[in-house]
Amino acid sequence: MRTLIFRTAAPYLTALMLLLSIFVLLRGHNEPGGGFIGGLIAVSAFAIHGIAFGVHQVRRTMYFHPMAISGFGLLLAVLAGLVSLPAGAPLLTGLWVSPTVGGITLDLSTVLLFDIGVYLVVVGSITSIALALEGREEP
């Protein structure tokens, strides 16, 4: 698999796909996309990187253990759900704020945080599986 063409193209592909995954994640609320799909794209990106350069390289690039990322995502999703409790709303109620930064109105919400949580869980868990399968001796 490690042909010259593939190894040359892989970093660009990975970077582009990661960028795309974040784009898909963020636009998800209004256009097709969302945390789940975004996460899957990111996993593919890491898988390509892994096939081209080996598991060790991907683990270095990710810095954190993929399962830790997944755990953080779950924590983030739970916290995003809990935010509504002090506000007097039931668990997981979406809360929105729309600050204006430099003339652009940003719609920020706990729902977005939740979606980021979903993204991280998917990225972490599935990458972790894929990497463990790819790297035989150092799972």
Partner 1 sequence: MGTGAQSLTLLALLLPFLGAIIAPVLTRFLKHNAAWILALIPLWLFIHFAGFLETVAGGNSVSGGLDWVPSLGVRFSWYLDGLSLTFALLISGIGTLIVLYSGGYLKGHVQQGRFFSFILMFMGAMQGLVISDSFLMLFVFWELTSITSFLLIGFDHDREAARRAALQALIVTGLGGLSLLAGLLVIWGATGTQDLSTLLASGDAMRESPLYLLALVLVLGGAFTKSAQFPFHFWLPNAMQAPTPVSAYLHSATMVKAGVYLLMRLNPAFGETVAWETILPVFGGTTLIVGTHLANRHTDMNLMHAYTTVASLGLLVMLTGFGAEKAIEAAVLYLIAHSMFKGALFMVAGLIDHETGVRDIRRLGGIGRAMPLTFAAGLLAALSMGGLPLFFGFLAKEEIYAALGTGTPWATVLILVAIVGNALMFAVAFMVGLKPFIGKRGETPKKAHEGPPLLWTGPLVLGVSGMIGALLSEPAHALFSSPMASAVSGTAVEVHASTVPHIGLPLLLSLMTIALGVGFYLMQERMRDGVAGSLKAIGWGPDRGFDQAMRGLLRLSFRVTKIIQNGRLDIYLTVTFAMVALTLLLPMVIFDELPSMPDMPMLLPHEWTIVAIAVIGLGAMVYAKDRLTAIVSLGIQGLAVALLFMLFGAPDLSFTQFMIETLSVVILALVMTRLRLSPTDHRPAGEKAMDVTIAGACGLAFGLLLLKVTQIPFDDTLSQFFEAHSLAIAHGRNIVNVIIVDFRGLDTLGEIAVVMIAGLAILALIRVTTPPKQPVSAREGS
**Is residue 61 a contact partner of residue 53, using CB atoms and an 8 Å limit?**
no
Question: Which residue ranges make up the site for partner 1 (CB under 8 A)?
Answer: 24, 28-37, 40-41, 43-44, 47, 51, 67, 70-71, 73-74, 77-78, 81, 91-92, 94, 96, 107, 109, 111, 114-115, 117-118, 121-122, 124-126, 128-130, 132-134, 136, 139
Cβ nearer to partner 1, comparing 15 with 129: 129
Cβ nearer to partner 1, comparing 11 with 20: 20
- Three-state DSSP class for residue 108: strand
Q: How far is the CB of 74 from partner 1 (least distance, A)?
A: 6
Q: How far is the CB of 102 from partner 1 (least distance, A)?
A: 22
Structure tokens at 127: 């990458």
CA quadruple 15, 17, 19, 23: dihedral, nearest 10: 180
Cβ nearer to partner 1, comparing 1 with 101: 1
Tell me the CA distances in angstroms from 31 to 15, 24, 82, one per residue in order.
22, 8, 26
Beta bridge partners of 16: none
Cβ nearer to partner 1, comparing 11 with 95: 95
- Three-state DSSP class for residue 97: strand
